[in-house]
Structure 1
Amino acid sequence: MTGSLSSRYESEGASPGFMLWRVTNRWQAAIRAALVPFELTHVQFVLLAALTWADDPAGDTSGMTQAELAQQVRADPMMVSQVLRALQAKGHVERLPHPDDRRAVLVRVTAGGAGLARRANAAVESADEAFFGPGTSRDRSFLAHLADLDERNRGGR
C-alpha cells in the first residue's frame, strides 16, 4: 500500500479495474478522433454499426426493436432511445411502429446511414489497429478473455 489509501493493491497500476479504466479512456479518445469527420459520437456509431451489421445483404431491411438493439449492444434502453432520435434527425435511421406490438418501436438503418456506417467503420477499425496493434495470438487470447468477462458479468443487459 502506498499513500494513505487502504487497498489490496500496491499501486493503481496493479488494479485491473484502474488499468482497464485508464486504457479505455485512451482508446475512446482515439475512437472519438476517428469519428470526427463523420460527425458521429461513439455511441451513435455503435448503434448505427449494429443496425447495419444486422441488415441482411439479400435485402431484408426489417430492422430490430429498440429493446433488441439495446440488449445487443449492452446499453441502457432509455439512452438508446435518445441516441436513436438524434440519428433519426440526421436521416441515418428510421423509427417505425412495430407491426405486431403497439408498445415496440422498430428501428432500421437508412441507405445513407448504412453507407456512413461502412465508411466510419473503416476509420474505427484503422484506429483500433493503430491502438491495439496487429492481431497476434496473444491479442486473440485477450479478446477471448474480454468476451468471457462480458458473458460472466452480463447482469440485466
Structure 2
Amino acid sequence: MQPAESPGFLLWHATLRWQRGIATALAPLDLTHVQFVLLACTWWLNGQGEHPNQLALARQAGTDVKMTSQVLRTLEGKGLVEREVDPADTRAKRLRVTAAGAELAPRAIAAVEQVDAEFFRPVPVDQALSLLGRLAHPES
C-alpha cells in the first residue's frame, strides 16, 4: 500500500496542515492551540451559568487533567482565567474567565472558525461534521 492510500497517513498530514493554520491564526492573540481550547471551553461553560472545576473542563475539552492544570496556570498568569477554591470542596478549583478572557475568547473563536471554514471548504459542512462526529465519538 502506498502512503496516499492510507487513511491514517492522510489524516495525519491533514491534521498537521490544519494545526499550522490554527497556530498561525492564534499567534497574534498570544495563545497556543491548547490555551485557546481551554479558554474557549471555560468561556462557553461560564456563559451556560457553569463554573467548572479543572476536571470538568478537562472532560469538556478532551484534555489530560494534569496538562489542563498546567495550561490553566498559564492562562491565569496572562490574566485570562481565575481559579477560585470551591467552597464545597477545598481541593477543587472553580474556573471563571476574567474580563480580559471574555473579550479575547470570542475573537479567538472567530479566528479559529475562519481557519476551519477555509480548511474544510472542499467538503460540505454536514458531511465533515458527520464524519468527524463518527470518528470522535464512535460509541454514539
Q: What TM-score do you get using the length of structure 2 for normalisation?
A: 0.92
Please give the alpha-carbon distance, in whole angstroms, between the structure 2 residues aligned to 1:142 and 1:120. Answer: 22
Q: Report the Cα offset of residue 134 of structure 1.
A: 7.2
Deviations 1:130-157 (Å, cap 9, x if unpaired)?
2211773xx3122112112211279xxx
Q: Retained in 1: the 8 A contact 2:26–2:33?
A: yes
Q: Give % identity.
A: 48
Corresponding position of 1:13: 4
- Pick which of 30-39 and 100-109 moved more: 100-109
Are 1:103 and 2:94 an aligned pair? no
Distance 1:49 1:134, change over 3 A: farther
Q: Which SS does the other structure have where 1:145 is aligned?
A: helix
Corresponding position of 1:6: none
Q: How many pairs does the alignment contain?
A: 140
Q: Retained in 1: the 8 A contact 2:120–2:128?
A: no
Aligned pairs for 1:13-52 within 5 A: 13-52=4-43
Q: Which SS does the other structure have where 1:55 is aligned?
A: helix
RMSD value over aligned CA atoms?
Answer: 1.8
Runs of 4+ in 1 over 6 A off after TM superposition: none
Deviations 1:5-55 (Å, cap 9, x if unpaired)?
xxxxx1111111111111000000000000111000000001111111112
Which ranges in structure 2 are unaligned for 5 or more consecutive residues? none
Aligned pairs for 1:50-89 within 5 A: 50-56=41-47, 60=49, 62-89=50-77
- Aligned letter for 2:121? G
Larger radius of gyration: 1
